[in-house]
Structure formats: structure tokens, C-alpha cells
């Protein structure tokens, strides 16, 4: 389309109706552990447009859409792909790609090799890495980042994705009967009238936001005991090296061998303050005993680490929800990726300790909302 030629001047064109930035359209979230990338693949390219398309743009599109793995560590989450999306007047598929932040140099090298900078697109990026690696993008790949706040992008991304997913599994869901393996099921949840909402983003660390409207939110608090803590401690305690390995071990372990429960101290419940005997009184509390250390397995340790981190987040979340007077809590972030154990724990904890007042909600696109928000900023500058 002829509009592409107009955009190349990159002059502010917000006064014109419905201006599109030039392709490719990316949104990037460079986090403490993972880089999340969303890529919009246009499916309505006309023959004329295709002819005018520069080679490296075509090459990028083909590379991204015909692979599901990139290099040694890049992965495209195909099950999360959103098809036939209309964005900024174009129709296409939205792809969700991730790779470790540790491998950003390789990504930059690839950007350089594919002469990405000659496409003169704005690269909207959020997350701490947008700031930390800004100069690396410039020097290694001749790319100028448009830096965005990660929490602004997160909220924008959540609200957008929830509004557009209308076929396939509901974006938002919750767990019914979370502690009953036979009866526990995911059920869809409609996030209409979502405000006020407590949004808990569990990445390397955790941020908890109270969201009152699309544009009105505050960061209530955070905790440094997040996904990075789970993975770091697991690697140290069990010798594993990836998130998936850690989760696999945790699924096989028994945390009650590692933790000191209320019943280990009281011989039963601590009735006076409503603490049931099965509640954890002291996480890893049994590990001060040599005999017990020698009797637990790596799987038990991995499980205890997961339970400890998850319950701590749940506990802090509950306090925030109580104080902010908010009943719905949405948990996002890649700590929950393929981590049904933690999701069910959170679902149960929210319900149990609040006596049914709080509801734990989850979103299919988990850790990608920041990147989506960055993409939206590219297309519809706020």
C-alpha cells in the first residue's frame, strides 16, 4: 500500500486518520529471564504489496512463521497463536515467541544479519531490558528502541487480548475444585466489567497492581520471591538446569517431608487462630534436622520450593486484595507457564484463606501481555 512510503519519513503523523507504521510489526518485552516477542503476520497482503515488499522483510516473515523453534533456545508457542486478528485495518495472525534474555546477543546478531535496521521500523520494547540493552540494540543491530513502561504495557495487553479472543478456549479462566484431582476443571470466565482488578505479574520477580480502569492503576507492592527464586533455588537444591526440569521434579515430590507443618508443632490444629494442622508453619523447617535432610529426595525439595514460593505470593496477594478491597485477582507471568501445580495452589489458597471471598483467575497468554502492550503502543500510540 502506498501508505508505507509515507511512513518512511517517520514524522509524527498522529494527526492523520488511521496511519499504519511500516511492517514488520513487533512488540518486545525484555524481562529478567525471558524475552517475549509478539509478531503480527499479515495475511491480507495484496499481489501489489507482495511485489513491492523488500526481500529482508519477506525473509523475516518466512523465518518466523515457518519455524516453531529458533536457534537453540527460541520457541514459538503455536498453541497461543491468534488467527484472523484485525489490527490497524490489517488482518493476520499474531504469533508468540520467547527466548532467554541470556541469548539476546544472538538475537541482535540475527537482526544485524537480516539487516533489520534497513526496514526503518520502530521497535517498541518494554521490560527492564529495553533500558538495559538499549545501547546494545544500537551498536550491535543499529536499532533504535522505543522504550515503554512494563506495567503500562502489561495492563494494556491484558485488556486487549481478553477483548479479542472470541473463539477457542476463553482467554480468562479459573479452577473449580482445585484440590480434588478427579474433579478439578478449568472453567471459562468473562472479564467484562473487570474493574477493580488485582493483577499479579509473576515473572523473575513479582509486581502486584490494583487496576481501577484502563488508564488508572497503581503498583501496590511487589516481592522479590518470584519465578527466578523458584528456578534459582531448584537449580541449587536439585542440580536441575531448566524451568521444565524443575517443574517435572516438583510434580513428583512431597513437600510435607521438607516443610514443618502446624501439626508438627502442635500435634494437630492451632484452633485458636484457625490454622489447620496441614498448613505450613515453617517452610523447609524440617531441613534443620540432619536425619530429615538425608531422607528427602530432590523431588521433595523441588516441590517444597514451588509450594513455598507460590504460597508466599498467594499470602501477599491476599493481603493486598483485602486492603484494596478487591475480590478478583488475575495471575499472569511466565512462572505459571505449564505450571498447573502453582495455579491450582493459588486457586485453592485464595479461596480457602478468604473463605470464598476471593477468586483466582488466569489468562491463557500468561507472560506475553507486556509484549502485546508494546505492539499496541506501536499501532495506537497512547
Residues identified as active-site: 150
Based on CB atoms, which residue is closest to a copy of itself, 121 or 342? 342
**255 touches 307 (CB < 8 A):** yes
Contact status: 285 vs a copy of itself (CB under 8 A): yes
Which ranges of 121-214 does DSSP label H, i.e. alpha helix? Answer: 128-132, 134-141, 150-164
Interface with a copy of itself (CB under 8 A), residue from 156, 260, 337, 365 = 260
Query: Can you tell me the distance from the alpha carbon of 307 to that of 303, in angstroms, rounded to the nearest whole number?
Result: 6
- Cβ closest to a copy of itself, residue 309 vs residue 343: 309
List binders of a copy of itself among 113-142 (CB under 8 A): 127-129, 131-134
**From CA 102, how far away is CA 311, in angstroms rounded?**
28
Q: What is the pattern of x (binds a copy of itself, CB under 8 A) and - over residues 315-344?
A: xx--xx-xx---------------------
Residues ≥6 apart with Cβ < 8 Å to 131: 147
Cα–Cα distance, 377 to 380 (Å, whole number): 5
Beta-carbon contacts of 366 under 8 Å, excluding residues fewer than 6 positions away, are: 332, 333, 334, 336, 337
237 makes contact with a copy of itself (CB under 8 A) = yes
Helix, strand or coil for residue 293?
helix
Residue among 165 and 235 whose Cβ is closer to a copy of itself: 235
What are the residues facing 332 on neighbouring strands? 201
Taking the C-alpha atoms of residue 240 and residue 321, their distance in angstroms, rounded to an integer, is 35
352 binding a copy of itself? (CB under 8 A): no
What CA–CA distance (Å, rounded) separates 314 from 359? 12
Stretch that binds a copy of itself, among 52-60, 154-162, 173-181, 313-321 (CB under 8 A): 313-321
- In the block, which residue shows the cell 501489489? 48
Binding status of residue 280 toward a copy of itself by CB under 8 A: yes
Considering only residues 42 through 101, tell me which ones interact with a copy of itself, judged by CB under 8 A: none
* Residue in 259, 299, 351, 377 binding a copy of itself, rule: CB under 8 A: 259
Binding site for a copy of itself (CB under 8 A): 31-33, 102, 127-129, 131-134, 149, 151, 204-205, 207, 219, 221-229, 231-233, 235-237, 241, 258-260, 262, 264-268, 270, 272-273, 275, 279-290, 293, 301, 308, 311-312, 315-316, 319-320, 322-323
Amino acid at each position: 500500500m502506498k501508505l508505507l512510503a509515507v511512513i518512511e519519513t517517520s514524522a509524527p503523523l498522529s494527526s492523520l486518520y488511521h496511519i499504519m507504521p511500516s511492517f514488520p510489526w513487533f512488540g518486545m518485552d525484555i524481562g529478567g529471564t525471558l524475552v517475549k516477542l509478539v509478531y503480527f503476520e499479515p495475511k491480507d497482503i495484496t499481489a501489489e504489496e507482495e511485489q513491492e515488499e523488500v526481500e529482508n522483510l519477506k525473509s523475516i516473515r518466512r523465518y518466523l512463521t515457518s519455524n516453531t523453534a529458533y536457534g537453540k533456545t527460541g520457541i514459538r508457542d503455536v498453541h497461543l497463536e491468534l488467527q484472523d486478528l484485525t489490527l490497524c485495518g490489517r488482518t493476520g495472525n499474531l504469533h508468540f515467541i520467547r527466548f532467554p534474555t541470556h541469548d539476546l546477543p544472538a538475537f541482535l546478531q540475527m537482526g544485524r544479519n537480516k539487516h533489520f535496521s534497513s526496514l526503518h521500523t520502530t521497535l517498541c520494547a518494554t521490560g527492564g531490558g529495553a533500558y538495559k540493552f538499549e545501547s546494545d540494540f544500537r551498536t550491535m543491530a543499529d536499532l533504535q528502541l522505543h522504550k515503554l513502561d512494563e506495567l503500562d504495557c502489561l495492563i494494556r495487553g491484558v485488556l486487549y487480548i481478553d477483548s479479542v479472543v472470541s473463539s477457542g478456549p476463553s482467554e480468562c479462566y479459573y479452577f473449580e475444585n482445585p484440590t480434588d484431582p478427579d474433579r478439578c476443571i478449568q472453567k471459562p470466565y468473562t472479564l467484562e466489567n473487570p474493574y477493580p482488578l488485582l493483577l499479579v505479574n509473576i515473572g523473575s520477580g513479582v509486581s502486584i497492581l490494583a487496576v481501577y480502569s484502563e488508564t488508572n492503576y497503581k503498583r501496590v507492592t511487589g516481592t522479590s520471591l518470584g519465578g527466578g527464586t523458584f528456578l534459582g533455588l531448584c537449580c541449587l537444591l536439585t542440580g536441575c538446569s531448566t524451568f521444565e526440569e524443575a517443574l517435572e521434579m516438583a510434580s513428583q515430590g512431597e513437600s510435607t517431608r521438607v516443610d514443618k507443618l502446624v501439626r508438627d508443632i502442635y500435634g494437630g490444629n492451632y484452633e485458636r487462630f484457625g490454622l489447620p494442622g496441614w498448613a505450613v508453619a515453617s517452610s523447609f523447617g524440617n531441613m534443620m534436622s540432619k536425619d530429615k535432610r538425608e531422607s528427602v529426595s530432590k523431588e521433595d525439595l523441588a516441590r517444597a520450593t514451588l509450594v513455598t514460593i507460590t504460597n508466599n505470593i498467594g499470602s501477599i496477594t491476599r493481603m493486598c486484595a483485602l486492603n484494596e478491597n478487591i475480590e478478583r485477582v488475575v495471575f499472569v507471568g511466565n512462572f505459571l507457564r505449564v505450571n498447573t501445580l502453582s495455579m491450582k495452589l493459588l486457586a485453592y489458597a485464595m479461596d480457602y484463606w478468604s473463605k470464598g471471598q476471593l477468586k483466582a483467575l488466569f489468562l491463557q497468554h500468561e507472560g506475553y501481555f507486556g509484549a502485546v502492550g508494546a505492539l499496541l503502543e506501536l499501532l495506537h500510540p497512547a
